Amino acid sequence: MSGEAPGPYPRELEGEILLEDGVRVAVRPIRADDESRLVEFHDRLSQTTAYQRFFATVRRLPTDWAHFLANVDYRRRLALVAECRPGELIAVARYEPTDRPDTAEVAFVVQDAWQNRGLGTALLGRLLGAAQARGIHRFQAYVLADNPRMLDMLTRFTDVGERKTAFGVVTIVFAARPPAAEEPRD
């Protein structure tokens, strides 16, 4: 952990995401009481999805990991969770500090049944927006080279500055893409 006391819970980050298929899911900042929900969420992930997130075979999320992941300071460490109904997590997007104060590492995991519906992309936009509001404008992600969906999402929806591959892991350094300017009106 960063060692800092948590900031106030950022209610402004609560909301809804409308998926491509018309389904609405709730999104909110993670809370300390989400520890057990994180373990349950991890239990519902396929082995492939869990491996792509943690780069290791983790049968059950250890309680100390769940504790660390659920307890953030809402400034340098932040996570957003998506729920299909209250208490049932279906996705987590987070950023963590790196050794550079201007850069945060991002990571995402979406439950298998909820993939390919626009949820990861929507969470990416919200997470980067929350980070920028907290003064973080440079990001990095470590993605397994055989995870084309995550690589494609970052390439399509961010401004990639660097991309290196070593030992089957792609390191991507990127910035949020500025919103498209509105067309002038007559």
Domain that holds residue 45: 11-137
The pLDDT tens digits for 88-124 are 999 999 999 999 988 999 999 999 899 999 999 999 9
Determine how many CB atoms are found less than 10 A away from the CB of residue 64. 9
**Does residue 61 carry a pLDDT above 80?**
no
Q: Is residue 46 part of a domain?
A: yes
Helix (H, G, I), strand (E, B) or coil at 81: strand
Q: Is residue 73 part of a domain?
A: yes
Q: Is residue 167 part of a domain?
A: no
**Angstrom distance (rounded) from CA 126 to CA 100:** 22
The predicted structure's pLDDT at residue 10: 96
Q: Is residue 177 part of a domain?
A: no
**Does residue 186 carry a pLDDT above 80?**
no
Give me the number of domains the chain comprises: 1
Half-sphere exposure of 177 (CA within 13 A, CB side): 14
Between 180 and 42, whose confidence is greater? 42
**Angstrom distance (rounded) from CA 131 to CA 95:** 8
Would you give the DSSP letter of residue 156? H
Q: Is residue 161 part of a domain?
A: no
Give the burial class of 101: count Cβ atoms within 10 A of its Cβ; 0-12 exposed, 13-18 middle, 19 or more buried.
exposed
CATH number, domain containing residue 116? 3.40.630.30
Nearest 5 degrees, angle CA 67-CA 111-CA 33?
A: 25
Q: Is residue 6 part of a domain?
A: no
Q: Is residue 33 part of a domain?
A: yes
**Angstrom distance (rounded) from CA 75 to CA 92:** 17
Would you give the DSSP letter of residue 146? T
The predicted structure's pLDDT at residue 56: 59
What pLDDT band is residue 47 in, cutting at 50, 70 and 90?
Answer: confident
Half-sphere exposure of 52 (CA within 13 A, CB side): 18
The pLDDT tens digits for 3-41 are 566 789 999 999 999 999 999 999 999 999 999 999 998
What pLDDT band is residue 52 in, cutting at 50, 70 and 90?
Answer: low
